Chains A and B, each alone.
Chain A
Amino acid sequence: MNNTKTESFGVLTSELALKIDEIIQNYQGNSTKLVGILLDIQDIVPKQYIPREVATYVSVKMNIPLSKVYDVISFYAALSDVPRADYVIQLCDSVVCKVTGNTVLRDTITELLGIKEQEATADGKYWLEYTPCFGACDISPAMRINGKVYGHLTTPDSVKAVLDQYK
C-alpha cells in the first residue's frame, strides 16, 4: 500500500503507464468498470498478470483504495497477481471435458513443455492452468491459448499441432 514505491519493481515503464492511462480513459475512468479495466491492462502487461506496482498505479489513478483493487484481482479467476507467460494455456477442467478424455491434453502438454498446472516454462513462454468450463463443450476436449479456443483435442498430435502455432 506504499504509493511512493510504485516504480521500484521495473515492470511499470513510462510507456506501459501511458497505455494504462489510455485504457482507463477508454472506460472514462469509471470505477464500476474496474473489472474490465484490469482485464484489458493484464493483456498488455508482459507475462499477463497485474503486478503490485500496476495495481497501485490503477488505485492512485482511479482513486480506488488498493485493498479494493486487490479484492477484485484476487477474487476473479481471469485475473492473475503472479507472472504467467507469453502464452497462457488454459485446459478445461469441467466434467464434460473429463468424460471426453482431457487427460490426453494434460499429458501431452506436460510431456512437450515440461510444465504442470500453475507452472511456466523456464523461458517464460508457456504457462499452464486449469480453468472451469468455458462453453466449448460441443468441441470437447478443449483448451484456450491466450483466449483463443481449440477443440476436438483427442490425440497427442492434435495438441502438438496447436502448440506449434505458438512458437
Chain B
Amino acid sequence: MSKTVSFITENFGKYDPNSIDSYLSIGGFTATKKALAMSSGEIIDIAKKASVRGRGGAAYDTGRKWAQAAAVPGDDKVVICNADEGEPCTFKDRNILSKDPFRLLEGMIIAGYTVGAKNGYIYLREEYRHLRPLIKSAIQQSVDKGYLGDNILGSGFSFHIHLYSGAGAYVCGEGSTLIESIEGKSGRPRIKPPFIKECGLFQLPTLVNNVETLAIATAILQNGVEEYLKYGTPQCPGTKIISLAGNVKNPGAYEIPFGLTLREIIYDIGGGIPDGRELKIFQLGGASGRTGSAALLDTPYTYDDLHKYNLVVGSGGILVVDDRTRVIDFIKSIQDFFIHESCGKCTPCREGNRQIAKIIDRFVAGTQRPDDLETALRFANIMKNCAFCGLGETAQSSLLSAVEHFPEEFGKTEVASK
C-alpha cells in the first residue's frame, strides 16, 4: 500500500504544463478566483489555520509571514518566489516547476493579492534553466487569458510576474542575497535590519516564499483548508514533498503526510538500501541540515518530533548513506561544499570553514591532533552563533550533529577520558 499522498502534487501528470487550456480543464485558476473574492484578512486567516511552515528550509509560519507583509505600509510591494533550490539532495521544487507551473503562478498571484503587491519575481536557479521556456510560456499564457497583468479577471487587482535567472550560487537561496542577485549584483547577504519585508527588492517591501509554500497556498484555497488538515498528525497537520536520494532503491520526490516515521519513508517508500547494505547515516534538510544514525529511524517526520532529536525538516531533503561511506568522508564532502559556497563576506564563515576543513582533512587522513576535535567544535559553534547569514550559521550543522550521533568516529571517547 502506498504511503504517499497527493495534495500539493495532485495535478502532476494530470495536465499538459505547456498549456493553460489543459490546466483550466482540470479546474485551474479556481483558487485565484476564490481568493479574489475574499479579503486579504480572510486569506491570512486560512493560511494561519493551515499552519504551513516555509518549505525552503527556515520553517517560518507562512500565515504569520503573510500577515506581517500585509501589515507593512506601502502600495508598491513585491512577492518573490524563491526557486533557487540549491540545497544538495533537494529537487522537489524542480518537480513542481516542471509538472505544475501554473499552480505556482496562482500561489504568487494569491500571495500578491493578500499582501498588496504589484509585482512578482521568480528567481530560478541556473541549474534549472531548461525550465525557463516552460515557465516563461506559462506566464505569457496567463497574461493572455487575463489571469495575470492589469485588472485580473475584472477584480481591479493588477499583478505582473517576472522571471530572473540565478547563476550557480547556493548563498542566493538566502532572501536578501537573492534580492541582491535580482538587482544584478553579486550575491552577498544584506545586513538586517532593515528587514526585507520592509525594505527588500528595489527598496520595496518584499515577501519571499519558497516554490512549495506557494503551491500549497493554491492547493489549500482550491480544496479548502479542512482537506489539507485531514493529513498528518494533530500537532503537525498537512503534507510535505520530500526529496529522497542517496543509497536507496527508489530515489525520488514524494509527497507524504507528516507523521510517517523515517523508517517508513526510507524503507517502505524508498525501498530500503540496495545491495544488502545497512543504513549508516541519514541527513535531513540538505547540506545545512542535520545528520542522524539508524537508532533514530523510528522518529516520526514532524517538526516537533524531529526537533526532540535535534533534527530538522529543512528543505525536505532526505539523504540516505550506507555503510560503505565513512562518516568523516561524508563530513568532508559537506565541508568541501561550504568552502565552495561561502560568499566570503563575513569572517566566521569564510575563515571558520577553511580552518575546520584543515582539521577535517587531518581526520580523513588519520593524522588528527589531540585537540583537533575540540578546536573544530569551538569554531563550529562560533560560526553557528556569529555568522552573518543562514549559510554560515548552518554550515556546521552536519559536523556538530555527526559528532553527537557518531562520537566514536571522531575518537570522542578518547578525548573525553583524556
Q: Do the two chains bind?
A: yes
List chain A positions with a Cβ less than 8 A from chain B.
Answer: 30-36, 38-39, 68, 71-72, 74-79, 93-96, 98-100, 131-140, 144, 147-149
Any chain A CB within 8 A of the CB of B169? yes
User: Which one of A38, A71, A78, A95 lies within 8 Å of B185 (CB-CB)?
Assistant: A71
Contact check, B187 vs A75: say whether CB atoms are below 8 A apart. Answer: yes
Q: Report the minimal beta-carbon distance from B322 to chain A, rounded to whole angstroms.
A: 7
Q: How far is the CA of A34 from the CA of B165 in the complex (A)?
A: 10
Q: How far is the CA of A41 from the CA of B22 in the complex (A)?
A: 35
Contact check, B86 vs A132: say whether CB atoms are below 8 A apart. Answer: yes
Q: Report the minimal beta-carbon distance from B251 to chain A, rounded to whole angstroms.
A: 5
User: Which one of A71, A134, A138 lies within 8 Å of B253 (CB-CB)?
Assistant: A138
| 18 residue pairs bridging A and B, Cβ less than 8 Å apart | A32-B183, A34-B184, A35-B167, A76-B126, A76-B187, A94-B88, A95-B321, A96-B246, A99-B247, A132-B168, A132-B170, A133-B88, A135-B94, A136-B91, A137-B89, A137-B91, A138-B91, A138-B251
Contact check, A99 vs B165: say whether CB atoms are below 8 A apart. Answer: no
| Per-position binary interface string of chain B over residues 161-173, scored 1 when its CB falls under 8 Å from any chain A CB and 0 otherwise | 0001111111000
Q: How far is the CA of A135 from the CA of B130 in the complex (A)?
A: 12
**What is the chain B residue whose CB lies nearest that of A37?**
B184
Q: How far is the CA of A131 from the CA of B128 in the complex (A)?
A: 14
User: Which one of A36, A79, A134 lies within 8 Å of B127 (CB-CB)?
Assistant: A134
Q: How far is the CA of A32 from the CA of B179 in the complex (A)?
A: 10
Any chain A CB within 8 A of the CB of B3? no
| Per-position binary interface string of chain B over residues 233-271, scored 1 when its CB falls under 8 Å from any chain A CB and 0 otherwise | 000000000010111000111000000000000000000
**What is the chain B residue whose CB lies nearest that of A134?**
B127
Contact check, B129 vs A147: say whether CB atoms are below 8 A apart. Answer: yes
Contact check, A95 vs B85: say whether CB atoms are below 8 A apart. Answer: no
Contact check, B91 vs A135: say whether CB atoms are below 8 A apart. Answer: yes
B side interface size, CB within 8 A: 52
Residues of A contacting B168 with CB < 8 Å? 76-79, 131-132
Contact check, B185 vs A68: say whether CB atoms are below 8 A apart. Answer: yes
Max chain B C-beta neighbours (<10 A), residue from A68, A95, A136: A95
Within 8 A of A (CB), among B179-197: 181-187
User: Which one of A32, A100, A149 lies within 8 Å of B247 (CB-CB)?
Assistant: A100
Residues of B contacting A131 with CB < 8 Å? 168
Contact check, B166 vs A135: say whether CB atoms are below 8 A apart. Answer: no
Any chain A CB within 8 A of the CB of B104? no
Residues of B contacting A96 with CB < 8 Å? 88-89, 245-246, 319
**What is the chain A residue whose CB lies nearest that of B251?**
A138
Q: How far is the CA of A98 from the CA of B329 in the complex (A)?
A: 10
A-binding segment of B336-344, B376-384, B399-407: B336-344
Q: How far is the CA of A30 from the CA of B336 in the complex (A)?
A: 35
Contact check, B89 vs A36: say whether CB atoms are below 8 A apart. Answer: no
Residues of A contacting B251 with CB < 8 Å? 137-140
Q: Which 8 A-B residue pairings sit nearest by Cβ, starting from the closest? A: A76-B167, A75-B186, A78-B168, A137-B245, A77-B168, A34-B184, A134-B127, A133-B88
User: Which one of A33, A95, A132 lies within 8 Å of B319 (CB-CB)?
Assistant: A95
Contact check, A32 vs B325: say whether CB atoms are below 8 A apart. Answer: no
- Contacts A99-B247, A137-B245, A147-B129 given; does A39 touch B167 at CB 8 Å: yes
Q: Report the minimal beta-carbon distance from A77 to chain B, rounded to whole angstroms.
A: 4
**What is the chain B residue whose CB lies nearest that of A144?**
B127
Any chain A CB within 8 A of the CB of B303? no
Contact check, A132 vs B88: say whether CB atoms are below 8 A apart. Answer: yes
**What is the chain B residue whose CB lies nearest that of A92?**
B88
User: Which one of B167, B324, B333 lies within 8 Å of A77 (CB-CB)?
Assistant: B167
Within 8 A of A (CB), among B78-132: 85-91, 94, 125-130
| Per-position binary interface string of chain B over residues 297-327, scored 1 when its CB falls under 8 Å from any chain A CB and 0 otherwise | 0000000000000000000000101101100
Known: A71-B185, A95-B330, A140-B246. 19 other contacts (CB 8 A): A32-B183, A32-B202, A68-B185, A76-B166, A77-B169, A78-B167, A79-B167, A93-B336, A93-B337, A94-B333, A95-B333, A95-B337, A98-B333, A132-B168, A132-B340, A132-B341, A133-B87, A133-B88, A148-B130
